[in-house]
Amino acid sequence: MLIGQLALVLVPQARTLPVSVSVLLVLLLAWRWLLWRQRAPLPSKLVVGTTAMLVLLIAAALVWRGGGSFGRELCVALLAAFVILKLMETRALADATLVTQLSFYLLLTLYLEDQPFWLALYSMAIGAWILRNWLLFHHPEARGRLAIWPLLGRMALFGLPWALFLFVLFPRLDHPLWRLPQSEPVGRTGISDTMRPGSIGELIRSPEVAFRADIVGDPLPASALYWRARVLWDYDGQAWRPDDAPPTRQAAGLRDEGDDGDEAADPAAAGAREYNVTLEATQKNWLYLLDRGVAVSDGVAARHSADGEFFARNPVDRPLRYRARSWLQGVPQPLTRRTLQLSLRLPDGNPRSRELAAGWRQRYADPWQRVQAAMRLFAEAPFAYTLSPPPLGKAQVDTFLFDTRRGFCEHYASSFVFLMRAAGVPARVVIGYQGGEYNPLGKHYVIRQSDAHAWAEVWLPERGWVRVDPTSAVAPSRVENGVDAALAGEDLAALRQLRAPGWLRDLRWGFDGLTYKWQRWVLEYDRGQQNRLLEQAGMGNRLPQLLAAGMAVLSLAALVPMWLRRRRVDPVQALYDQFCAMLARHGIARGMAEGPQAFATRAESALPRAALAVRAFTDQYVAWRYGAPDTTTQASAVARLRKALQDLGRSLRQKPF
């Protein structure tokens, strides 16, 4: 039982532990299993101590390889290894109890990485199994005399109201009391703040969820779902990077989900859409908002740049839920001198592209006409949208526009912005996500890493920054139907393996909906959601009164099992208790260790007038309680005992001779 429960506790740890550590734990557990299987003697203290030193040396090597980082994964691995080593020397009940208790600690470490809903169900099931084993270790006779699983079920039902009550009244802290150490070598996929050829194409092959979002009101078309992450200004001929120090200010606060208020009373909200985003851990501090974001939840404490970027105070190292508001149309913005310099700056090189852009500048006085000229170039020339473009030389833009003409969204956005700047039109690159799958069951969007995208923005007089997506000129279906609708051949086959078709899609939507609800109502249940829940229940600021009332009600409810147990008293035993009490009133009290026959004999000697009645009642009680089972029903036995008790009462009321 100990080996089995420890194996079940350690199986989910394989999600987060390094492969080498997982192999080591499997070897240690297999060693202990072989010793039990072969009934071999347990290893000596010297062997166990040597193995422990070897484990410590392996841990030290991993720390040295990680640059001195002693993260939580290694801490969990050491705990698991030493619990298994403790199992190597388990010979007595105290050792088994200690291993069982440490198994609970290992079970809790599963929540240090993430908290999916399936893990809660799994840990509750394994916890019940450990409790069952613990009971059997200390009371082996319980296996045949006690229904263990119904007992554990009743315990869980008794504790469930308390768990729900405490969960509602004591929400998750807005900020943790401490932060667990992170392991440095853990890589995270996601949008980076640097864009170079192939950087976004690598993300397209990943099915991982970047974030989920539910729009307040009607769903939006895919062409409106541009989720902004970073704005890139600086181009060195190889990669695009953001401005070194963009000015930021405190982002406008927004009331949280469920507290809609009167939107018409807020003039800044007219024409805007609100939505909720549940962002997965990215280890980055930028947030994702629909294009032209204007506000986020007050609790996030985000900062807002002039480029429409939103930054959290700390890197997002756990799922983060926030409410946001965005304009879905361009807002006129002034172009400062510094912004003008950034949006026209170009590195040396790419002469053919410069010559093409210079011709547009001479031919078209209106900047928008130059934009349309570039879009016609992408639409009419034989460009191809592919995940496997050929490599580019030093003159990346020239090579792409005039030679290879095969690329992904970053190729088109980069070359378009280069052409616009060379043509005298202020332009910049924007990276983020475009589109997302709509889950009809959960009524929310799922944005994956495969939805990563890059587009451009140009500044036009009287219109400000205007979004232009050059990819739409080459592959319009990319914007309308997603990236898999724009690819073909091997690229399409590789991508569609990430998304299950047919009935599997419905199953995936159901699982995703459960995950989203779990994150929304359990993992992200904080003080704001508690206040809204109390307001909806009409309790407002009555948290102390609710706490006192809830404690009183649950305390009284805890007495119900005792009351039910009293009602389930054996009627035969109840009659015998009355028999003993009746004799006690006449000076014959039964001793605690006195049996029914011995007590009856003593009562007959002390009360001769009631001797026959005492013997008749005792014989019937002993026959029912200790005799061989027969066809007599309990009801008939109770009736006979009750009559015998009445006869005893009449005998005792008679005056002695």
Q: Is 63 helix (H, G, I), strand (E, B) or coil?
A: helix
Element (H, E) at 235: strand 234-235
Q: Which residues pair with 311 in a beta bridge?
A: 286, 303
Please list, residue by residue across 617-631, b when 16 or more beta carbons sit within 10 angstroms of its beta carbon and e when fewer do: bbebbeebeeeeeee
β-strand pairing of 444-448 with 320-327 = unpaired
Ramachandran angles phi, psi of 305, nearest 5°: -90, 165
> What letter does residue 280 receive in the DSSP assignment?
P
* 469 has catalytic annotation: yes
For residue 274, the cross-strand partners are: 325
**Partners of residue 305 on adjacent β-strands:** 248
Q: Which residue has the tokens 């500044």?
A: 459
Nearest to 356 by CA among 448, 271, 422: 422
Q: How far apart are CA 225 and CA 228, in angstroms?
A: 9
Q: Are strands 452-460 and 427-434 parallel, antiparallel or unpaired?
A: antiparallel
Beta-bridge mates of residue 321: 278
484 as an active site residue: the answer is no
Contact 554, 561 (CB under 8 A): no
Q: For every residue of 100-151, which 3-state class applies, written as one string? A: HHHHHHHHHHHHHCCCCHHHHHHHHHHHHHHHHHHHHHHCCCHHHHCCHHHH
CA 352 to chain centre: 52
75 an active-site residue? no
Within 8 A by CB and 6+ apart from 165, the residues are 550, 554
What is the C-alpha end-to-end distance of the chain, expressed in Å?
Answer: 70
Residue type, 67: G
- Residue 65, H or E segment: helix 45-65
Own/partner long-range contacts of 329-333 (Cβ < 8 Å, ≥24 apart): 329/271, 329/292, 330/292, 330/463, 330/464, 330/465, 330/466, 330/467, 331/292, 331/464, 332/462, 332/463, 332/464, 333/459, 333/464, 333/465
Phi, psi of 428 (to 5 degrees): -150, 160
Active-site residue identified among 243, 256, 409, 512: 409
Looking at 291, 469, 491, 512, which residue is catalytic? 469
**Per-residue tokens: 77:** 């691995």
Cβ-Cβ contacts under 8 Å for 252 (sequence gap 6 or more): 268, 294, 295, 296, 304
Report, as residue numbers or ranges, the catalytic residues.
409, 453, 469
